[in-house]
Amino acid sequence: MPRLAYVNGAFVPEADATVSIFDRGFLFADGVYEVIALVDGRFVDDGPHLDRLDRSLREIQLVLPMPRVDLHAMLLELATRNAVTEGLVYMQVTRGPAERDFAFPVAPTPTIVAYARATPVLAHPRALAGATAITVPDQRWARRDIKSIALLPQVLAKQAARAADAFEALMVEDDHVTEGGAATLFMVSGGALVTHALGTDVLPGITRERVFSLAATRDIPIIERSISTEEVRAADELFITAATAFVMPIVRVDGVAIGNGAPGEITMQLRADYIASVRHGAAAM
C-alpha cells in the first residue's frame, strides 16, 4: 500500500502529492512548519506544537487555513492511514500560489501539506552510545524564533556535520553556541542545566520545556544564559533536545570528548524520565 500524504484537503499517494510551481513556499520559503512525534499511537506534546505553529503563523501574518481541531484530526488520521504508531508527522503551511511578487498577495489561498513517517524515537540508535557534534558559524536570519521553512543555513550546517561523520551541527555566533541545526542545546555544569535563554535568536523548543519540568521534579537547577564554545568543550555533560531525538547525549564536539566521553548520568536520567512521561500518557494535551 503506498504511503499517503495530505495536500489541501485530500489524502493522496505521496507520488501524487504536488503543489503549484507558483506556491510562495517554493518561490520564497514563505511558510512555516512543525514536526510532532508519535509514541504508542499518540502524539507527543501536540498541544504545545500546535501553539507554536499558531505563533509562527501570526509572526508571518498568515492564518491557519483550517480550524485547529480539524488540523489535529487530520494529522491523527494521516498517521493512522499510514500505520504509523511510532515516528513523526510533518506539516507545512505556506502563503500558497500567487504571481511572483515579493509583497503578500491581496487574498492568499494558503497551502497546507503533511506526511507521516515511521521511525524509532524511543530506542534511537544514537542514544545509548551518545552522538557527536561539530561547531559551525551561525549564518541564519535574525528571527530564528519563527519555525520557518527557510532552512538553507541549517541544510549547509547539517551537510557539514554529515561530512564530518557527526550527528549535529552546533551554531556559533560571537563565540557562543545558540542552538543545534535542529535542536536545543543543554550543558550540564556543576549539577545544573544551562541552556540559551529564549529570544529571537533561538527557536522556543517544545522538548526544551518538557525537560524543564522534568528537571524541576528532580530539583535540578536550570540556568538560562548564553554558552561559550569554550564552556561547551569543558562541560560535564552535553545533550540536545528535539521532537524526535527527545534527550540526546552529545559525547564529542569537534573531536573533543565531553566529560568522560560517554553519555552522562543526568542526561540519561532525563532521557529515561522523558520516555516514561510520554509512555504514561503525560504527553497528551
Catalytic residue set: 147
Contact 264, 249 (CB under 8 A): yes
Separation between Cα atoms, residue 106 and residue 160, nearest integer Å: 40
Separation between Cα atoms, residue 281 and residue 285, nearest integer Å: 9
Place of cell 501524487: 16
- Which of 8, 119, 121, 24 lies closest to 71, judged by CA? 8
- Using the 8-state DSSP alphabet, how is residue 221 labeled? -
Separation between Cα atoms, residue 60 and residue 79, nearest integer Å: 28
Separation between Cα atoms, residue 148 and residue 202, nearest integer Å: 12
